[in-house]
Chains A and B, each alone.
Chain A
Amino acid sequence: VTGLATPSALSGDRPPRVPGEPGMWFVILGDLLLFAYVFAVFLAYRADHSEVFASSQRNLSVGVGLIYTLLLVTSSVFIVRAVSLMRAGNRERAPRYVLMAMACGVAFAVIKVFEYSGKVHAGITLNTNDFYLFYFFLTGMHLAHVLLGLAILTAMWFFARRAGTPSLGNKMRYAEGFACFWHMVDQLWLIIFPLLYLLH
């Protein structure tokens, strides 16, 4: 018996429960499914145009890609901290951690805008070749998720300020759901980064 799925982990002190609202997982799992499909389409196109993909990929900066990765992973850690502080009713520190996570998200979006404008100034657009089509489409779709995530974290900040008070009500569940969404945004980047920037 491994330590992971011992009976106590499954049927112990806490009843098993889905974090956040169950319905929200429709969006998270659905989005993961969609991205998985787009990744598959990307790999199929890549197999057909391997030279174009390889030569275009060399123009992407792995360093910038690493900065994005660090920003998003760090922001996810802040959100984990914020949720546990909210559970503990700490309305002093929980909103601060939400804000720090949001700052990472904003930094991500700002760098992205610079990266895009650099590409456009170099004459590279969606129509340059299939690699750049996927580059702009995948990262653009992901950026849209980051922006939506930032809007959601703004709501979470308001909830975090009510942590430990009765006015929070069932909003704790919403906050958990928001955190899960933010983790998904982070996790998607962890696949997009190697796929676009690193895969040889």
Chain B
Amino acid sequence: MSARSQRLCAWCGPALAVVFFIGFWMIARFIPPPSPAQTAAETANMYRQHGFRIRLGMEITMWAGVLCTPWVIALGCQMKRIEGRWAPLALTQIGLGVLLPLEFIIPFYFFMTAAFRKNRSDESIQMLNDLGWLPFDGLIFTLFGQCVVVGIAILSDKHEKPVFPRWAGYMSLWCGVLMLPPGLDVFFIRGPLAWNGAISWWVLLVMFFVWLIGLTYVVLQAINDHEKEYGAEARAGNHRSAAAADL
């Protein structure tokens, strides 16, 4: 095992957060999101005036999607220590987790397409804007599944010294539930449950990063423990069995 490469993967989580805020918030200025209640003309105007900024911001935020994958794998590697060689929960987490970058990237292409031609009709631009925001805020289904799988794996750990602290399992379940309301964004043009709403947008934004940073913290701790255990086993001359345990 390589503790260094695992740590590198885990640190992609906080890096994702930094890249996301630079691209999405500082450059594209999509935080807070434009209201779904604004008229087609207002929306079109936003893309015509700030088209360059929006495209550049999205280009940068794409990389946040890429950084997501190593983080998901680092989490999966440590989850696998809970389950051993046959690890359905760890693999489910990885499977759901690698969909997350796509859920970033596809909406971003709609935003970039909306900004691509200045002579598009207002209604077309509004539709592309809807196509971007509805899934970007509302696509919480795989993320919820991921939170639940992580929670179940952590709470089902029967090791004497568990891989993750139990609070992290509860945290993952709790964050997952709190990220559900944005799934309703297709029903609301305005108010707290619309895609820019106080409950659906802001709770999702905060909870996603609480979850990401909270799990990064416990994954880094788990990697340290893993390294110590592995080192102790290797020093005791059981290098082969330690390697086998890795499988």
- Chain A residues near B (Cβ < 8 Å): 21-24, 26-27, 30-31, 34, 37-38, 41, 44-45, 126-127, 130, 133-134, 137
Chain A residue, CB-CB nearest to B165: A23
**Range of interface residues on B (Cβ < 8 Å):** 10 to 19
A31 CB contacts on chain B under 8 angstroms: 174
Shortest CB-to-CB span from B11 to chain A, Å, is 24
Q: Chain A residues near B166 (CB, 8 Å)?
A: 21, 23
Tell me the minimal C-beta distance from B196 to chain A in angstroms. 13
**Distance in Å from the Cβ of A130 to the closest Cβ of chain B?**
6
| A134-B181 Cα distance, complex, nearest whole Å | 13
Q: How far is the CA of A23 from the CA of B198 in the complex (A)?
A: 28
Residues of B within 8 A of A137 (CB): 181, 192-193, 199
In the complex, besides A23-B166, A30-B171, 16 extra interface pairs with C-beta distance below 8 angstroms are A21-B166, A22-B167, A23-B169, A26-B167, A26-B171, A26-B174, A30-B174, A30-B178, A34-B178, A41-B192, A44-B198, A126-B187, A126-B193, A130-B191, A133-B193, A137-B192
Q: Is the interface of A mostly helix, strand, loop or mixed?
A: helix
Give the chain A neighbours of B173 by CB distance below 8 A: 27
Whether A41 pairs with B199 at a CB distance below 8 angstroms is yes
**CB-contacts of B169-199 with A (<8 A):** 169-171, 173-174, 178, 181, 187-188, 191-193, 198-199
Q: Please, which residues of chain A bring their CB within 8 A of the CB of B168?
A: 23
In this complex, the member of A26, A27, A127, A137 whose beta carbon has the largest number of chain B beta carbons within 10 angstroms is A26
Chain A nearest CB: distance from B246 CB in Å?
A: 28
Across the interface, B170 reaches (CB within 8 A) one of A27, A41, A44, A126, namely: A27
Contact of A133 with B192 in the complex, beta carbons under 8 Å: yes
Contact (Cβ within 8 A) B203 A34: yes
By a CB distance below 8 angstroms, the chain B residues around A45 are: 191-192
* 28 A-B contacts (beta carbon < 8 Å): A21-B166, A22-B167, A23-B165, A23-B166, A23-B169, A26-B171, A27-B170, A27-B173, A30-B171, A30-B174, A30-B178, A31-B174, A34-B178, A34-B203, A37-B203, A38-B199, A41-B192, A41-B198, A45-B192, A126-B187, A126-B193, A127-B187, A133-B192, A133-B193, A134-B192, A137-B181, A137-B192, A137-B199
CB contacts (< 8 Å) of B170 on chain A: these are 23-24, 26-27
Residues of B within 8 A of A21 (CB): 166
- Tell which of B181, B188, B192 has the most Cβ of chain A within 10 Å: B192
Alpha-carbon distance A23/B203, docked complex (angstroms): 22
Q: Is the CB of A27 within 8 A of B191?
A: no
Q: Which 5 A-B pairs have the closest CB atoms?
A: A23-B167, A23-B166, A41-B198, A26-B170, A27-B174
CB-CB under 8 A from A22, the residues of chain B are 167
Nearest CB in chain B to that of A24: its residue: B170
